[in-house]
Amino acid sequence: MKLVLFLIISSVIGVAQIPAGYYNSAQGLTGLPLKVALYNIIKNHTTISYSGLWNTYQKTDRKPNGKVWDIYSDIPSGTPPYSFTFNTDQCGSYSVEGDCYNREHSWPQSWFNSVSGPVSDMFHIYPTDGKVNGIRSNYPYGNVSSASYTTLNGSKLGPCSNLGYSGTVFEPIDDYKGDLARSYFYMSTRYYTEDASWSSSSATNKATILPWQVNVLLQWHHQDPVSSKEIARNDTIYYRYQHNRNPFIDNPQWVDSIWQQDVSVFIKENTFKSKFSIFPNPINEQLTIVSELSPNIMNVEMKLMTINGEIVENRKLSFSGLYTIDCADFPNGIYFLQLITSESTCNLKFVKSQ
């Protein structure tokens, strides 16, 4: 009887669908209310120990040939340069690619101070080559303009080519960009309001993804749609381990509903001299405008408007890289910020939520 029951359960898991009613409370919502509803659905998941990930990977990240599904070495359209065997090739020390695999926090631990919960959350931690994991370090993800290092499967490290950030980024191959983007959207949603002890980074402010990084992830989300690998991984994590799901694998359209309109940047004549971003978003008391301009002291006209077009503030600034707006008394709602220079107009959207 136990064997029969095991086979029935295994069969259900193998063809699992989204549980009936799982997303009922999120239906019909958009924007921040949708994000809040999804947070309430996927919070309080069952926590797997960090050491326990070695065993879970044998169910969540196993290739059809039984090898470790390493997104930093795999080449779906060709032959990977090497492959790993579970347990046997577990890191350990490494010196070159192919030595061993370890546990890659796609949202780096230093960004959330290794706190319990995200430190072992399976939706953003993947088995990857130890050497490449070390090369990626805690750099943000982004599109590389000129690679300083290219891995054996074609992943790259180098300066970012995306508007709003010029630092070093890591770019995985196209086949896994969407996977990682949806991992980030999951993390930002799952730990919404639970990020008080988190750090910030060049791509995040606690659990909020900064505008330039949102633009990268939106691009990757659309270029690399949800795969059967992600669907199977999502189901396995839900049924076997954490008992929560990544809603952006189940409902990819929700990514646009929450993040698509957060940032719209319009640059005249394709010039990249004007680079602005804002954080946090949503805001509580203060909004900070960041400039990547060089030199970053310039005259900027700033217009702050409500969603109905009412002017809240209109002034000329001698911009010196950072400018903070006190929003503590702003009513909750959606606002638009327009920054006008001699070369470009930058339009940003943010939400006042508390």
Residue 9 pLDDT > 50: no
With a threshold of 0.85, does the pTM exceed it? no
Distance (Å, whole) CA 59 – CA 124: 15
State the Cα–Cα distance between residues 107 and 129, nearest whole angstrom: 16
pLDDT of residue 85: 98
> Which band of pLDDT confidence, cut at 50, 70 and 90, is reported for residue 354?
low
Q: What is the pLDDT at residue 91?
A: 97
Quote the Cα angle for 224-101-86, to 5°: 100
The pLDDT of residue 3 is 35
Note the pLDDT tens digit of each residue in 210-229.
Answer: 988 998 999 999 999 999 99
Write down all domains in the chain, each with its CATH number in brackets. 2-260 (no CATH), 263-352 (2.60.40.3080)
Place of tokens 């606002």: 335
What sections of the chain are H helices per DSSP? 2-14, 31-42, 53-60, 109-112, 130-136, 177-190, 211-223, 228-236, 247-250, 253-255
- What pLDDT, on the 0 to 100 scale, is given for residue 11? 38
The more confident residue out of 244 and 6 is: 244
